[in-house]
Structure 1
Amino acid sequence: MFKNYFYLNRAVIELSEMLIGSTIFEVFTQEKETLYFHIPTEENEYRHLVVSINQSEPYLIIKDEHRKARKNVANFYSDLLPDKIEAIQIAQDDRIIKIICTNFYLLIPIRGTISNVIALSEHGEPEFFRKVKRVDETELIADLNSHSYNTAFNIPEINNEIKSLDELKKSFSYLTKDILNELKSRTSTDNFDHQKEILLRILSQINNDPIQIFYTNDLNRFVFVPSGFISLSRDSEVYEYDNYQDALLKLLAVGNKLSREQKLQKEISKHIGKELSIYSNKLNSLQQRVDEGSKEELYRKYADLLLSNMQKIKKGMKEITVDDFTTSETYKISLNDKFSPKQNVDYYYDKARGERINYSKSLELYQSAKSYYDKILDIQKEFENCDDLSKLISLKEKLGLKDQKVIEKNEPQMKFRHFIIENKYHVFVGRDSKSNDFLSTKFAKQNDYWFHARGYAGSHVVLRVDNPKEGVPKNIIKNAASIAAYFSKAKTAGTAPVAYTFAKFVTKRKGMEPGKVMMQKENVLLVKPEIPSNTEQVED
């Protein structure tokens, strides 16, 4: 329930008490869908407000200790900061949070996949944390600004025209399933007046009651509910907190741990099942081979008999019948009609040697496979009784499973060449047409500098500008241009022209070939293609 409208309303009230009058010094991201607002105090130099717009886990939470990563970090709203927080509000009828600062304000709509953080000032252009898809930016901002905002706890006003629970749900879409399930658990009548009374009591509990975190078998996960809720069974230790912030920190901690346990359980179970299936088939095949025994002696007898009867063998014969005078047995032996008598003899001697090696190897493989199969069976028994994350990690190590790099869906995993000029200015270089497009149209921010060798095929290059107010020295721009020339067909030239502009003036029309863009307001520098001496490449 932590992302339910009413709990977000409670979060806004708590955040207002903690943050109004504080100053935002920096906003940055170092992971997908999460922004960090550096809002230090005298006691907590590294305090941050963390805003997640993840579809499954949207939240605003205070972390007293958070250190900014050294690389793979992007700054936002730099030209608006620092600024003081004057108010934190929520829309009276929607999950939209508004943070009002002295010179600008932030709108944080929590709307599934189109959740965002938008900075708006009186004179500047809106700046979006996430690129807006499927909706018009102007219409979106107009819609968000059309709502009424406050810092009070907003109880829905149920007018007399609403006569039933179904009508109530249609009028107030933010009365979510968890609230309605609790309402059903507490009422045994269809009397709407009674249902309204219980509903208002539930909403009051969301605003005022301690918050409990516990695991419930009803939903197979940890939940975040008022202590007075009765609709869910408490099937684990119950953690109770007086405020939203502490409760959410605990939920994220136990939820992440559970998620990791479930992921490990699934991974280990799948691996065990796969290994048992593979080695069961392998053992059956090897068992059959071992049960057949070795034919080394038979093939050697064939070779000896053919050798002693070689005068009877003629090239072109497909078989021969010979007698073994030591046992009085008769053998019919297949021959290769294309072989000479000696070649047929050698064939069976070779086959006898091969059979000895093959049978010995089959025995060895069978014993090895049986040992591994028994080991997996033992691990399976251990796994079936495993209920602890540390034990699961130990089992994973026993199985030799390695961590896999997780690639986020819908997030292009583009790798750019990354350089730092004078230990401060970050330069990113596309590697191919696809990464050039991503670098220029999605990765680059509007005030970044964009470079490309003029008249030559080459990489798109972006010089990151974290704080437009500071400006970028001319020598840094020239250094970035040299890098652009170096990663182009002009690499071997003495000097080369490089066009540059702000990234906001670089566009890509629909239908344009990969790697092709349009630029406006270009400037041109004549530079030497090189990696400047004051530049260091970052190996990610």
Structure 2
Amino acid sequence: MFNNYYFLRQLSQALKERLVGMTLGACFSQSKDELMIGFYKGAREQWIRASLIPNFNLLTFPLDYQRKKVNSIDLFKEAIDQEVLDIIQYKNERAFLIQMTDDWGLLFKMYGNRSNILLTQGEEVYAIFQKRHIDDQNMDISSLDREIDQSKGAFYEGGIKATFPTLGREANAYLENQGFDKCSPDEQWTRLSNLVKQLESPNYYVEELDEQVQFLLFQLEGANTLLESDDPIDAANEFYYRFSKRYFVEREKGPLIKEIDKRLKQSKSYLKKHYARYEELTENARFEEIANIIMANLHAIPPRSKKVTLFDFYNEEDIKIKLNELHTPQKNAETYYRKAKNQKLEVKNLEANIQQKETEMEELKKHREALDQFEMVREIRKYIKTNGLQKLQKNEPVFPFRKFEYKGFEIWVGKNAVNNDLLTQRFAHKRDLWLHARDVAGSHVVVKWKSKQPNFPVDVIEKAASIAAYYSQRKTDTLCPVIYTPKKFVRKRKGDPAGLVVVDKEKVVLIEPAPFSETLT
């Protein structure tokens, strides 16, 4: 209720007792949402700090204030050295005016997110603090006073909103929680009248309820009272201290914690998927055993068989084995041996990825727990800098491609057709090496160019080619042709579907498909 009309009318009266006869000595801003206003009389000072941050618009009153030497700008210079004559509270309006000599004035318009401080001369607005509220430049100051019929008859006829629009959200909620809507009109008027009397001569409470700090002109049932005062200025200062401590801390670490929680959720999903695949591979890792069974029974397999039943000496029972009728039994055994080799490589790759993701999760959990403990902004900022969490703080997206490193060269791999286009068209440099399995669907692969090593070593090309073959429809082939060329010779025609490109001046390498087991990302 720090911007409530009933509080502001008490606050403006308290300021009147302090400010009348004092002189405006300073008016400056050191951030776009805060204005410092200083008055003096002899050695005595009185400061007003107008914090006009979105969702947090509040006036507080430091005993003294040391101005910074940098990033500070003087404002409302025309009114400097003017003496305060009076403070005018506008009727039924969340605004008051500090009236000074030579017809200058400081108008405090405390309208929630539309709050502003205006420099006035007479009935005209001379300058405004918050430039984003441009309409304030044309405000009709003479219309700020509002006469409202708040009689019993007017209440019966128009209801509470029309008769007492200045009550505010908290006071209305207070009445509602007391069963106001269920009462008779006479009882409603009695309760409303009692509350208004309390608001017109209140005590001020800083209350804590459900871990939220609130400023009120009445006590809440079940709340923890942090301060009870009859001085609106002391109460406003205490609330600012309590609330800003939480507000600025949460503003500093809240988005970071939210991003960490998001990535932890994504990691859990990633691990669930990869654990399932790992179990599937390890539970059905029989390719090598099947190959051994075929080799032990070459003489018993008829030519051109599509399926054969053989004795499984591992489990001591018959087993049905699928075969390629175009291949010899020995060639079929070789196929199963190759599948076993690829399966082992995939299992090794999964184990490395799972281990890396689990390590990442442990790091994120450690940061999450540490951030929860901090209660000072500078501690949070120091921790973020020390632990390199700036990217998380900026909510930067996870790297969109698979990324590997081999002998100092980064190898980026697309994940699907749309992702391939993103990699080739937006992320690849013209000097990067571009690779793709020939004549089949598969991932685009890019080896990042290095200025100090402009030529790509043969073993690096072969390593990237084996990855391109693995992430293609030929991943189970013994050998796969892979094309490669500088990215500048890869182009996309208008209207082509996602992932489809035209390649010029390509070379071809014949390579065995193989996954990369040591991922970076």
User: Scaled by the length of structure 2, what TM-score is found?
Assistant: 0.55
- Give 1:145's aligned residue: 142
Aligned to 1:279, the other structure's residue is in SS state helix
Map 1:332-351; keep pairs closer than 5 Å. 334=324
- Give 1:429's aligned residue: none
Aligned with 2:393 (options 394, 404, 407): 404
Distance 1:399 1:129, change over 3 A: closer
- Give 2:416's aligned residue: none
Quote the Cα distance in structure 2 between the aligned partners of 1:36 and 1:126. 18
Quote the Cα distance in structure 2 between the aligned partners of 1:233 and 1:266. 32
Amino acid aligned to 2:226: V
Aligned with 1:216 (options 187, 209, 212): 209
Aligned with 1:190 (options 185, 188, 196): 185
Do the aligned residues in 2 keep the contact of 1:54 with 1:112 (CA within 8 Å)? no
Query: In the TM superposition, what whole-angstrom CA distance separates every residue of 1:149-190 from its partner, at most 9, and x where no partner exists?
Result: 9xxxx9x87447535284454133212343345456398663
Distance 1:39 1:171, change over 3 A: same
Deviation at 1:371, TM superposition (A): 7.0
Deviation at 1:6, TM superposition (A): 1.0
Amino acid aligned to 1:83: Q
Aligned to 1:126, the other structure's residue is in SS state strand
- Give 2:14's aligned residue: 14
Distance 1:175 1:113, change over 3 A: same
Deviation at 1:343, TM superposition (A): 11
- Give 1:89's aligned residue: 88
Deviation at 1:28, TM superposition (A): 2.6
Aligned to 2:224, the other structure's residue is in SS state coil
Quote the Cα distance in structure 1 between the aligned partners of 2:136 and 2:64. 38
Aligned to 1:25, the other structure's residue is in SS state strand
Aligned to 2:170, the other structure's residue is in SS state helix
Map 1:440-451; keep pairs closer than 5 Å. none
Quote the Cα distance in structure 1 between the aligned partners of 2:395 and 2:97. 33
Distance 1:359 1:195, change over 3 A: closer
- Give 1:253's aligned residue: 241
- Give 2:165's aligned residue: 173
Distance 1:131 1:320, change over 3 A: same
Do the aligned residues in 1 keep the contact of 2:109 with 2:116 (CA within 8 Å)? yes
1:276 partnered with 2:272: no
Distance 1:270 1:347, change over 3 A: closer
Of 76-85 and 2-11, the range deviating more from structure 2 = 76-85
1:31 partnered with 2:28: no
- Give 1:127's aligned residue: 127
- Give 2:156's aligned residue: 164
- Give 1:361's aligned residue: 349
Distance 1:297 1:205, change over 3 A: same
- Give 2:216's aligned residue: 225
Amino acid aligned to 1:224: F
Query: In the TM superposition, what whole-angstrom CA distance separates every residue of 1:282-324 from its partner, at most 9, and x where no partner exists?
Result: 322222223223645656888x899x99xxx9xxx99999x99
Deviation at 1:354, TM superposition (A): 4.1
Quote the Cα distance in structure 2 between the aligned partners of 1:158 and 1:29. 40
Aligned to 1:293, the other structure's residue is in SS state coil
Quote the Cα distance in structure 1 between the aligned partners of 2:35 and 2:358. 53
Deviation at 1:213, TM superposition (A): 1.2
Quote the Cα distance in structure 1 between the aligned partners of 2:125 and 2:32. 23
- Give 2:199's aligned residue: 203
Deviation at 1:88, TM superposition (A): 2.5
Do the aligned residues in 2 keep the contact of 1:336 with 1:344 (CA within 8 Å)? no
Do the aligned residues in 2 keep the contact of 1:91 with 1:97 (CA within 8 Å)? yes
Deviation at 1:4, TM superposition (A): 0.6
- Give 2:457's aligned residue: none
Do the aligned residues in 2 keep the contact of 1:27 with 1:75 (CA within 8 Å)? yes
Quote the Cα distance in structure 2 between the aligned partners of 1:204 and 1:330. 91
Quote the Cα distance in structure 2 between the aligned partners of 1:32 and 1:146. 28
Amino acid aligned to 1:33: D
Query: In the TM superposition, what whole-angstrom CA distance separates every residue of 1:250-286 from its partner, at most 9, and x where no partner exists?
Result: 3233334444559377555544433323322232222
Do the aligned residues in 2 keep the contact of 1:107 with 1:144 (CA within 8 Å)? no
Quote the Cα distance in structure 2 between the aligned partners of 1:196 and 1:349. 86
- The count of corresponding residues between Structure 1 and Structure 2 is 375
Amino acid aligned to 1:247: A
Quote the Cα distance in structure 1 between the aligned partners of 2:151 and 2:335. 99
Deviation at 1:98, TM superposition (A): 0.7
Amino acid aligned to 1:190: P
Which structure 1 segments of 5+ residues have no match? 408-540
- Give 2:109's aligned residue: 109
Distance 1:388 1:233, change over 3 A: farther
Aligned with 2:277 (options 277, 285, 289): 285
Quote the Cα distance in structure 2 between the aligned partners of 1:81 and 1:406. 44
Quote the Cα distance in structure 2 between the aligned partners of 1:26 and 1:318. 97
Query: In the TM superposition, what whole-angstrom CA distance separates every residue of 1:480-518 from its partner, at most 9, and x where no partner exists?
Result: xxxxxxxxxxxxxxxxxxxxxxxxxxxxxxxxxxxxxxx
Aligned to 2:185, the other structure's residue is in SS state coil
Distance 1:77 1:169, change over 3 A: same
Quote the Cα distance in structure 2 between the aligned partners of 1:237 and 1:291. 62
Do the aligned residues in 1 keep the contact of 2:205 with 2:235 (CA within 8 Å)? yes
Do the aligned residues in 2 keep the contact of 1:299 with 1:349 (CA within 8 Å)? yes
Give me the identity figure in percent.
18
Distance 1:50 1:334, change over 3 A: same
Quote the Cα distance in structure 2 between the aligned partners of 1:163 and 1:330. 89
Do the aligned residues in 1 keep the contact of 2:8 with 2:95 (CA within 8 Å)? no
Which structure 2 segments of 5+ residues have no match? 397-521
User: Scaled by the length of structure 1, what TM-score is found?
Assistant: 0.53
Deviation at 1:38, TM superposition (A): 3.6
Quote the Cα distance in structure 1 between the aligned partners of 2:185 and 2:393. 53
Quote the Cα distance in structure 1 between the aligned partners of 2:16 and 2:331. 95
Of 280-289 and 353-362, the range deviating more from structure 2 = 353-362
Aligned to 1:162, the other structure's residue is in SS state helix
Quote the Cα distance in structure 2 between the aligned partners of 1:391 and 1:126. 39
